[in-house]
Amino acid sequence: MTGGSGGQSARTRSSPLRWLGEALGLLLLLAALNAVLAPDDPGALRLAPHPLYAVPALIGARYGLGGGLGAGLLAGLAHLLAQLHPLGAGTAALPAPPAGLPWHLDPTQPLLMLLAGGVLGGLSERLLQREALAQRRARQAERERERLAERLVIAEAANRELERRIVEPAAGVARLYEAARRLEAMDEEALYPAVLEIASEHLQADRCAIYLLEGELLRLRAERGQPPHPERLVPDGLAALALRERRAVSARELLLAGSETAPAERGGGSGAPAASPAPAGLAPLLAAPLLDAEQRPFALLAVTAMPFLRLTEASRRILDMIAAWAARAVEKARYVGAMRERVVLDEALGVLRASYLQRRLAEELERAQRYRQQVALLVLEVEDWERVPAEGRLVLLRVLVEILLARLRRVDQVFRLERDGALAALLPHTAEEGGRRAAVRLAAAVHALGLAPYAPPAPLGFRIGLAAYRGDPEAEPPAPASLIEAALAAAQPGAELLEPPPPAAAPQAPPAGDEPPPPASRQPSRPRRRARRRKDEP
């Protein structure tokens, strides 16, 4: 540390041997310079101030009071020695020696050197003491900084741990919320991929799949990851164990329990059609059955690839919970789907649903076939449906529904087809020619409104199709789906229906003398003919 090295340097400088060596070195240097520059003035006694003052000044400033006094003493002794030299005695800088003595010693300069060394050393000693105090304080500050740094590291670690403990539950709740939202779908087809996504996120599974149980076989319904899973297979190994135990199991349990799957358990003698298993089998690491309300398995959730360290008892419990949650969601979706099939009204448009069209059309076709009647199906489809803004699609369909209801008979029923932007009308007791006239009236009504629902605005493009059936007791009626497809395939643009028909031939005038029968003579016969027809009908 900086404070420690500074204190050690100060203690080294205060060593007597060190300042003594430097003082002797300076004295030798001055002596050498004196010998070179002024050989006739040994000791440089003629110079004022004397160069020897530099020795106590430098040593005292560097080493403090002790060094200054010691260097001043050495410099004074050196000055006295210079005075004792034969050539130095009696110089102009010194008075003449007294009679009878070969030399004369002047103690003034040595005393002044000793005094200068003491004064400068004392001043330097105070500075050195301040420096030592500053170094001690620096060392204390350094130690305090290290302690604060350690406390900061501990505090940061504690803060991260607190944040983890605060954020992880929130993240867990967020993941559970997202999982719940995915499983809220009432469409069974959308539930299976959502279940696989949840299993992949919570178990870090690289590959997983859902199989539906069909008799003695498992059929792939949804999968995630590569390579693909086998389409059909016989449940064996871990899959058979999970279906038999009706709980989630792991490969570790299978290894501990041993291979207990017998050929009878694999459905070998059930007479079921042969499966097409994968070349290496399913070999899941985790498997959990999806149980219905009566605790019978109807599907299997299998994890076939995941990190080895995640293959724990906790992962097995998580998969068991996911499977139970998914089973309830699938049961709910199936129930809602069954209820939707029973609901015949589309509440958004106020018309009948496409699923009900299949049943109604089947009834009308059977009635027409039995009683030799006719039935027609009219289809209205919007062109370029994707160009219609999303916020205006429902409004457009409602307008078209109102047109259909206004231009058709009260006995005619309007349906919403599964195809986007398509409506249908069932016209019972209607021949093909009557259906064409209804199509022309419908096209004229739609064209008269001048709708421009597209973005950018453009006139509405629509197609109208017609399919008719004349009953024949000797032949089977067509399937409802085929009649719907025929109407959609025969659809033509509404503009073509609005083209005026070719002019009809003018009626010829009756020959002279022949008067046309009065129309009133035919009118009374119509109710009787209708009455007879109703009487003759079965």
SS3 category, 502:
coil
Q: Which residues contact 352 (CB under 8 A, 6 or more apart)?
A: 344, 345, 346, 360, 413, 414, 415, 416
* Cα 358 to Cα 468: distance, rounded to the nearest angstrom: 15
Q: What is the pTM of this model?
A: 0.44
Sheet containing 207-214: give its strands across: 232-233, 217-224, 207-214, 297-305, 286-291, 249-250
SS3 content of the chain, % helix, strand, coil (to 5): 55, 15, 30
Per the CB < 8 A criterion, the answer to whether 418 and 441 are in contact is no
| Amino acid occupying residue 129 | Q
C-alpha 35/C-alpha 467 separation (Å) is 136
Question: What's the CA gap between 18 and 13, in Å, rounded?
Answer: 7
386's tokens: 């994707």
Return per-residue pLDDT of the chain as tens, 538 residues. 444 444 444 444 557 788 888 888 888 888 888 888 888 777 777 777 888 888 888 888 888 888 888 888 888 888 888 877 665 554 545 555 555 545 567 788 888 888 888 888 888 888 878 888 899 999 999 999 999 999 999 988 888 877 776 666 555 566 666 767 777 777 788 888 888 888 888 888 889 999 999 888 899 999 988 888 888 888 888 888 899 889 999 887 777 665 444 343 444 443 333 333 333 457 888 999 999 988 999 999 999 888 887 788 888 898 899 899 889 888 888 888 787 777 788 888 989 988 889 999 999 999 999 999 999 999 999 999 999 999 999 999 999 999 999 999 999 999 999 999 999 999 999 999 999 999 999 999 999 999 999 988 999 999 999 999 999 888 888 999 999 999 999 999 988 887 655 555 545 544 444 444 444 433 344 444 443 333 333 3
Where helices occur in 183-265 by DSSP H, the ranges are: 188-203, 238-245, 251-257
- In whole angstroms, how far apart are CA 187 and each of 183, 192, 323, 331, 338? 10, 9, 17, 11, 11
Q: In what order do the strands lie in the sheet with 345-346?
A: 345-346, 351-352, 413-416, 422-428, 374-382, 462-470, 492-493
What SS3 class is residue 516?
Answer: coil
